[in-house]
Structures are given as C-alpha cells and as structure tokens.
C-alpha cells in the first residue's frame, strides 16, 4: 500500500480536486484488472489522485446526487471494526470516497488463506439484526436493509428477493411464469436454508471483483454491508467464474469458523440476490442463469 497524504489534507481535498491542484488519473470501471474498480457504480468516476509529494490515493467521485458513497463508507467502517482485510476509509462525504491506493499483485495461497481467516472473524463479529441501520445500496441500486421476519430465510425472501421481481418483470428480464417460480422458491426458503444462525457481519457483494489482491494481503472492497447470513459471502465468491484460490480461502475460513453441514447445497439460494440485481440492472441476458438456478431447487 502506497503512502497516503497526511490526514490534515482531507478537509481541503474536495477543493483541491475542483481546482485541479492534484493530478488525477482515471481508473476505468470496465477494466477488471485495475485496482478498486467497480463495474456497477456507473454514476461515479474512479480516479487515482496524486499529490505533489508523490503520495497517491484512490477516490470515487459521484457525478450526481444520491447517498450511495456515504452508505459504502458506512459499510467499510463497520466491517473494518472486525477485520484488518477491509480497505480503510480515509475520507468520505456525499460526493467523495477516498481510500488508500493499493498496487495490485498476483493472488497467492498465503494471502488467500489469510483472507478466509479474516472473513470468518468478520462474520463472527455479528450484527444487531438482519439488515442495517443505514439505507442500503449495491452499487447505486437500492438495497432494502429494513428488518422483516424472525429468521434469515424470512428476511431474505422479503428484502433480497421480492423487491427485485417487479422491476425485473417491468424491464422484460422475467416473465410472469419466471416470477411465480422465484416466488415459489422464496416461499420454501425456511425449509431449505439450513440451521438457523445469528446475523453475521457480511460484506454483501463479495464476488471476485471485490477482492483486491495487493502485495501485503488480499483486501475486501466495495461492500453492500449488512447483517446477513455468512454463507452469502462464500456463495458470492463463486459467482462469475469464481475468485482465484477459493479452496485456500475456504480452508483458512474453516480454521476459524467451520461451516454448517450441507452449506454447498445452499450456494444457489444465496446467489438469488445478486442474480436478481443483475436482471433488474441489465435485463434478460441474466435470465438463463437465474432460472437454471431456480430450476435446480424444484
């Protein structure tokens, strides 16, 4: 991790950016090989900011309104209370989120195992309830963090599945039969979700693009943090081709907090949420993957 500017600069940072007193280098959100780039956060630009003394930071700068950067900062700070593997927040307001600049490195088994241990410790820190006390976003898309139901399965069905069905139907991603099939699976979640566990402190969007491999360790970035089920983060690590060295991550995780029996059979249940987010955002191209998953539980 490169040296960051002194903390007393943060108060002036928005003004320095506005008046071009620091060098800015765009970080393309579409380039997954670049560090700390989110492909979902379309309304914010990603920049490497370099000061006169050579120190650099990574910044997301909101192009419009909304409080999604503040929500991300809340999540990062909350997760960082429980794990050293969460990228720190150096400065945040409604328009700007600043983190250390972390040079990318190749994944290593050592860093993967330590990420697993840190993830287990973070989950073990727990949450007061399912959801979160702040308004949630996954990227810029809404994420309902209100409480609902007595169990994770009830909460997940109400707050992570149902809200995305209507927009996915309205945009043509899903038809009426698809929606009915998803609703039927959601109704069966209490019998499929496995042993009840207390709310875990979850990243919430831990696909491989939100694991940033640095020289010091593997970092968790870009969370949709909330109190949830720990199996959700582990399921998401398998999405979109899967994170490198997943077996090492899982081995490290198991050293700290063994998983409940049958957790691999429940992976698809936890992936319902990110897939529905994608049908909401990007339309029918994600329908086949979603409906294949649903069919696997019928």
Environment class of 72 (CB within 10 Å of its CB; exposed 0-12, middle 13-18, buried 19+): buried
- Determine the Cα–Cα distance for residues 129 and 150; give it in Å rounded to an integer: 10
Residues 116, 94, single domain; the answer is no
75 and 186, same domain (yes or no): no
Domain, as residue range, for 66: 7-100
Q: Residue 221: inside a domain, yes or no?
A: yes
Helix or strand or coil: residue 47? strand
pLDDT at 39 (0 to 100): 41
- In which region does residue 131 sit, left (phi positive, over 0), alpha (psi from -120 to 50) or beta (all else)? left
Please check whether residue 211 lies inside any domain of the structure.
yes
In a domain, 32, yes or no: yes
83 lies in some domain: yes
Domain stops at, among 100, 135, 152: 100
Count structural domains, the chain.
Answer: 2
Question: Are 34 and 127 in the same domain?
Answer: no
Shared domain check, 174 and 68:
no
**Residue 2 lies inside a defined structural domain of this protein:** no
Q: Which helix (H) or strand (E) holds 42?
A: none
Determine the Cα–Cα distance for residues 126 and 33; give it in Å rounded to an integer.
32
Residues 146, 53 share a domain: no
For the domain that residue 253 is a member of, what is the CATH number? 3.90.1200.10
Name the phi and psi angles at 62, rounded to 5: -70, 135
Which of 53, 74, 100 terminates a domain? The answer is 100
Are 56 and 101 contacting, i.e. CB atoms less than 8 angstroms apart?
yes
Given 100, 117, 132, the domain boundary residue is 100
Q: Is residue 1 part of a domain?
A: no
Q: Please report how the helices 287-295 and 267-282 are oriented relative to each other, as an axis angle in degrees rounded to 10.
A: 150
Dist CA 147 CA 135 (whole Å): 12
Q: What CATH number is associated with residue 68? A: 3.30.200
> 208 — phi, psi (to 5°)?
-60, -30
Chain center to CA of 143: 11
Q: Are residues 131 and 276 in the same domain?
A: yes
Residue 128 lies in a domain: yes
157 and 28 in a common domain: no
Query: Would residue 165 count as lying in a domain?
Result: yes
Provide the residue-wise pLDDT of the chain in tens; the chain has 298 residues.
665 666 555 555 665 555 445 676 777 644 434 344 444 445 678 888 888 777 888 988 887 666 888 899 999 999 999 999 999 999 888 788 999 999 999 999 999 999 999 999 999 999 999 999 988 999 778 999 999 988 999 999 999 999 999 999 999 999 999 999 999 999 999 999 999 999 999 999 999 999 999 999 999 999 999 999 999 999 999 999 999 999 999 999 999 999 999 999 999 999 999 999 999 999 999 999 999 999 999 8
| DSSP states of 253-280 | HHHHSPPPTTGGGGHHHHHHHHHHHHHH
Where is 86: in which H helix or E strand? none
Same domain, 130 and 13: no
Q: How many Cα atoms sit within 13 Å of 264 on the Cβ side?
A: 2
Which pLDDT score, from 0 to 100, does residue 277 have? 96
271 and 178 belong to one structural domain? yes
Contact yes or no for 182/272 (Cβ under 8 A): yes
87 and 118 assigned to the same domain: no
Residues 196 and 140 reside in one and the same domain? yes
Instruction: Please indicate, yes or no, whether residues 156 and 87 belong to a single structural domain of this protein.
Output: no
């Amino acid at each position: 991790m490169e040296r960051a500017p002194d903390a007393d600069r943060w108060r002036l940072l928005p003004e320095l950016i506005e008046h071009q007193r620091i060098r800015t280098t765009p970080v393309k959100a579409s380039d997954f090989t670049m560090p700390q780039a989110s492909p979902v956060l379309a309304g914010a630009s990603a920049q490497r900011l370099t000061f006169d003394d050579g120190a650099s930071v990574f910044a997301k700068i909101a192009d419009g309104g909304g409080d999604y950067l503040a929500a991300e900062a809340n999540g990062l700070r909350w997760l960082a209370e429980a794990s050293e593997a969460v990228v720190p927040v150096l400065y945040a307001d409604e328009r700007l989120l600043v983190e250390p600049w972390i040079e990318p490195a190749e994944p290593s088994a050592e860093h993967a195992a330590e990420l697993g241990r840190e993830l287990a410790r973070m989950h073990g820190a727990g949450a007061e309830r399912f959801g979160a006390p702040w308004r949630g976003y996954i990227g810029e898309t809404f994420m309902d963090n209100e409480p609902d139901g007595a169990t994770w399965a009830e909460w997940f069905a109400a707050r992570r599945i149902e809200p995305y069905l209507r927009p996915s139907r309205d945009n043509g991603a899903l038809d009426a039969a698809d929606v009915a099939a998803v609703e039927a699976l959601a109704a069966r979640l209490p019998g499929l979700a496995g042993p009840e566990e207390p709310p875990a402190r979850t990243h919430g969007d831990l696909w491989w693009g939100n694991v940033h491999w640095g020289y010091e360790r593997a970092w968790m970035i870009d969370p949709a943090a909330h109190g949830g089920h720990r199996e959700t983060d582990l399921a998401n690590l398998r999405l979109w081709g899967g994170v490198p060295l997943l077996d090492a991550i899982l081995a490290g995780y198991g050293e700290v907090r063994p998983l409940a029996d049958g957790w691999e059979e429940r992976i698809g249940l936890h992936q319902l949420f990110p897939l529905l987010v994608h049908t909401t955002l990007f339309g029918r191209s994600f329908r086949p993957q979603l409906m294949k998953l649903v069919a696997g539980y019928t």
